[in-house]
Structure 1
Amino acid sequence: MSELPLATDYAHIFLGDVPLIDVRAPIEFKEGAFPCSTSLPLMTDDERAQVGTCFKKQGQAAAIELGHTLVGGAVRAERVEGWLAQLRQQPEALIYCFRGGLRSQTVQQWLADAGITRPRVAGGYKELRRFLIDTLDSAAAQCQWSVLTGMTGSGKTHMLGHVTQALDLEGHARHRGSSFGQLPGGQPSNINFENNMAIELLKRRHKGEQTFVVEDESRLIGRCCLPNTLFDAMCKAPLVVVDVPQGERAEQIRQDYVHDLWLRYQAMFGAQEGWPLFAAYLTDALARLKRRLGDQAHRELDALMQTALTEQANSGSTELHLAWITLLLTRYYDPMYLYQLGNKQERIVFRGDKQACLDYFAEQRTNAQQG
């Protein structure tokens, strides 16, 4: 087995979107994998658990023997055919297990016995993951970062769609970042969140980009946690503040968190099943703020929201949602933002309306290219 080829150029794997065959157990794949990987496990979760128990009680030799018993005969033939079928679709695919050890070596040898020789990734998932963590850490330390901030509803995410050097953290997290930011379909695992960001940064830095703009975020975007090195870099980075009137911000929230989000629920679940899920999403998001709002304020806001939801259900109109949105901005989000910004005054390098901020980022990009 040791003479079969190894893949050691981790950067090439991610820069080239090289397809990967992940032969770890399904539960391992679910916890974290890579965008171009396909789960085709050597053992099921149950088989892996049995082998692990055997290893602890009887040692490696007994565990290996049990593994060959569990994955032998017709089971082995079926799994080999699965890997061969994948390689017919992706002949350049590489094989990996957790550490590049016995599981991937076994699969590699069985494929060689079937007439197909493919490299396994040296060090497996563990080394690929380590490479991506190092990629994130080096980008955080070596790149120039700017942070776009502004009051809730300023449309910062939409603005970043027009900024060439933007890194969309919320896009990678599949969450809009606030109590109301949950999207239907759920979020990636934290490992996959980090992996996808790292791969984007690797590709962009490979093309020469060293300057990035991100939206002002807390450490947690939903349940996805920003890497410490990146979050620390963001906390020290210069701030660009976008100023947007409250009425415009309330309308942006109505569009994003009511109108557009309802369309997402409708597309995913259908109108009949999607409506109660959407209404519960808004109600629960407001309930999560109850402790900070206080009981009386929460009851007032919830009553306005339920009235708006009833009207939306009856007529399709979302206009009444502006009442609770505006009140929530006035009583909660705006005071909180102003307090937080007051502690960051020394980091502000530019302030203006949306177009002025976009022009500033464009000028900064031009200066970076010329410098």
Structure 2
Amino acid sequence: MQLPLSDDFLSIVLNETPLLDVRAPVEFNKGKFINATNLPILDDEDRRLVGTKYKEEGNAAAVKLAESLIKNEGKEKRVAQWKEYLHKNPDAKLYCFRGGQRSGISQEWLNETGITITRLKGGYKAFRNFLMQQSEEISAKTSTLILGGRTGSGKTILLKKLRNTIDLESIANHRGSSFGSYVNAQPSQIDFENNLAYKLIQFHHKNFNKLVIEHESHNIGKAFIPQSVYNNFMQGELILLETSLEKRAAITYDEYVTSALKDYEKVYGNEALQRWAEDVNAGLSRIKKRLGNQRYRELKELFEKAYTQHESKQAKSLYQEWIMRLLNEYYDPMYDYQIKTTSIPIIFKGDEEAVSEFINTQEK
């Protein structure tokens, strides 16, 4: 009997279909898809041994070795895990790297127990190629409004209030500055690209006139926007969000101090404040060369003063003084120069209310 195969990758993206990935953990950790769960048919060492056998003696010998490594008890254990997963995710699809031996065997084993699951034609590789092709094609034909503004102006806050947006920093799990790391690690480069492709495809099928993104560099932390996609994004038009220095300092304090510490507490508990301060100091060290020695020492001392008085009533004002100096003396001159020299046409400037109203008019 011919078991079901499918290459309807678009449906998987639009429905965020659960996926059963039977590749080895080392493969899964290098790159995976949204809603994919790794329940491997071979572990990392077994995969290495089978791969070596394949290179030395061919496919038949590799399959025979794989079967001997799994044995009956291993097969029963794996099938039980897959059945438990499929009980919770009955619409899931199955794949391995190329959609061949491993996923084919997994599909047959499940079929023996009365469970039919659809296997992805071409596996991970074909689906990944589909996503990368779609990213390039969709970004090329999508008109972008690029939301710019000085650091702390509230661009992310505004993006969350709009419907026709993709939050690149959220996908990258990074705030896009020297102090922008979150407690949880960024996704791998491949995961970032896959997740961005999902968002682009889903956006494309909502039929908006314009895509709104934040004005980003080619990289967001350690995550790089694919060059062709980035170039397409930068063909758009620039809108500048104007916010007072005092309000920007307050927004930055809420995000980088108050909210950040809550995240650190979830991970580090009683050590949260110390770990957070260490990471802030590491961020300062990364920009030391640009700051210059004198300014670096002054900003470091000001932060240490705020940190040592963290529990006092003066702490907030000290942190905001430190933030205002960073914004005014470091981030603003860099961003102002970037805007002065940009080739992207600036079509509007205004505060949050005015910018929001302008963007909404572009959809009418």
Deviates more, 1:351-360 or 1:198-207: 198-207
Contact 2:209–2:363 (Cα < 8 Å) also in 1: no
Q: 1:357 offset after TM fit, Å?
A: 0.8
Q: 1:323 offset after TM fit, Å?
A: 2.1
Deviates more, 1:279-288 or 1:198-207: 198-207
| Residue of structure 1 in register with 2:27 after alignment | 28
Q: How does 1:207-356 map to 2 (within 5 A)?
A: 207-270=206-269, 272-313=270-311, 317-344=315-342, 347-356=345-354
Contact 2:179–2:280 (Cα < 8 Å) also in 1: yes
Q: Distance in 1 between matches of 2:132 and 2:24?
A: 22
The one-letter code of the counterpart of 2:96 is: C
Deviates more, 1:314-323 or 1:186-195: 314-323
Change (3 A) 1:345 1:223: closer
User: After TM superposition, which residue ranges in structure 1, 4 or more long, deviate above 4 angstroms?
Assistant: 313-316
Q: Distance in 1 between matches of 2:197 and 2:225?
A: 12
Task: Using structure 1 for the length normalisation, give the TM-score.
Answer: 0.94
Contact 1:132–1:198 (Cα < 8 Å) also in 2: yes
| Residue of structure 1 in register with 2:157 after alignment | 158
Q: In the TM superposition, what whole-angstrom CA distance separates every residue of 1:57-116 from its partner, at most 9, and x where no partner exists?
A: 333222211111101111111111111222222222211000001111111111122222
Q: Number of paired residues? A: 364
Q: Secondary structure at the match of 2:41?
A: coil
Q: In the TM superposition, what whole-angstrom CA distance separates every residue of 1:131-150 from its partner, at most 9, and x where no partner exists?
A: 11112111210111010111
Q: Distance in 1 between matches of 2:343 and 2:50?
A: 58
Q: Secondary structure at the match of 1:320?
A: helix
Q: 1:165 offset after TM fit, Å?
A: 1.2
The one-letter code of the counterpart of 2:75 is: R
Deviates more, 1:83-92 or 1:155-164: 83-92
Q: 1:319 offset after TM fit, Å?
A: 1.9
Q: Secondary structure at the match of 2:298?
A: helix
The one-letter code of the counterpart of 1:42 is: I
Change (3 A) 1:23 1:250: same
Task: Using structure 2 for the length normalisation, give the TM-score.
Answer: 0.96
Q: Secondary structure at the match of 2:348?
A: strand
Residue 192 (structure 2) pairs with residue 193 (structure 1): yes
Percent pairwise identity: 39
Contact 1:258–1:318 (Cα < 8 Å) also in 2: no
Contact 2:209–2:362 (Cα < 8 Å) also in 1: no
Contact 2:21–2:39 (Cα < 8 Å) also in 1: yes
Contact 2:96–2:103 (Cα < 8 Å) also in 1: yes
Q: 1:226 offset after TM fit, Å?
A: 0.8
Q: 1:213 offset after TM fit, Å?
A: 0.5
Q: Distance in 1 between matches of 2:183 and 2:103?
A: 36
| Residue of structure 2 in register with 1:369 after alignment | none
Residue 4 (structure 2) pairs with residue 5 (structure 1): yes
Q: Distance in 1 between matches of 2:234 and 2:72?
A: 57
Q: Distance in 1 between matches of 2:75 and 2:314?
A: 56
Q: 1:313 offset after TM fit, Å?
A: 4.5
Q: Secondary structure at the match of 1:72?
A: helix
Q: Secondary structure at the match of 1:71?
A: helix
The one-letter code of the counterpart of 2:28 is: F
Q: 1:346 offset after TM fit, Å?
A: 5.9
Q: Secondary structure at the match of 2:309?
A: helix
Q: How does 1:94-243 map to 2 (within 5 A)?
A: 94-243=93-242
The one-letter code of the counterpart of 1:302 is: K
Contact 1:259–1:318 (Cα < 8 Å) also in 2: no
Unaligned runs of 5+ in 1: 367-371
Q: 1:229 offset after TM fit, Å?
A: 2.2
Q: Distance in 2 between matches of 1:59 and 1:309?
A: 63
Q: Distance in 2 between matches of 1:287 and 1:194?
A: 29
The one-letter code of the counterpart of 1:273 is: E
Contact 2:23–2:42 (Cα < 8 Å) also in 1: yes
Q: Distance in 2 between matches of 1:235 and 1:115?
A: 52
Q: How does 1:19-98 map to 2 (within 5 A)?
A: 19-98=18-97
Change (3 A) 1:345 1:85: closer
Q: 1:240 offset after TM fit, Å?
A: 0.3
Q: Distance in 2 between matches of 1:244 and 1:344?
A: 20
| Residue of structure 1 in register with 2:356 after alignment | 358
Change (3 A) 1:179 1:319: same
RMSD: 1.6
Q: In the TM superposition, what whole-angstrom CA distance separates every residue of 1:311-369 from its partner, at most 9, and x where no partner exists?
A: 11456832211222122222211111111111126610111122111111111122xxx
Q: 1:201 offset after TM fit, Å?
A: 2.2
Contact 1:145–1:213 (Cα < 8 Å) also in 2: yes
Q: Secondary structure at the match of 1:214?
A: strand
Contact 2:25–2:43 (Cα < 8 Å) also in 1: yes
Change (3 A) 1:55 1:118: same
Q: 1:269 offset after TM fit, Å?
A: 2.4
